[in-house]
Amino acid sequence: MSVTSQKIQQHPQASQDRAISQRLLTEEPTDLNLVELARLRIRYQGFPGAADIKADLDQALARWQLSELELFARTRQLHQQGGLYKPRSSKKDDWT
């Protein structure tokens, strides 16, 4: 199937991700923002849709003067250090 014949899809997290991608355009490249940018680039890599989010992510990367390889190298280091994401709840089961 060619790229032009693929159906454009809406990602289930698109509305939250769009808000994050737009925020990244206005903020500085903090550790958390770098990790969020890398996470979203991975999520939407090869996804047939979300052109607006992908464009925001490209703009943020360019604004911060990073290549994708540099972004991923920096975020790998950050993840190795740990502590970037805090648990949302002290409960072990989210469904309770």
Query: How many structural domains does the chain have?
Result: 1
Overall residue count recorded for the chain in this entry: 96
Strand partners of residue 9:
49
Among candidate residues 10, 11, 18, 9, the one with its CA nearest the CA of residue 36: 18
Give residue for tokens 């698109």. 14
**Tens of pLDDT along the chain (96 residues)?**
444 445 788 899 999 999 999 999 999 999 999 999 999 999 999 999 999 999 999 999 999 999 999 999 999 999 999 877 766 555 555 443
5 domain residue, yes or no: no
60 domain residue, yes or no: yes
At residue 89, the pLDDT reads: 56
pTM value is 0.81
**8 Å CB contact between 9 and 49:** yes
96 domain residue, yes or no: no
Query: Which domain covers residue 38, as residue numbers?
Result: 14-81
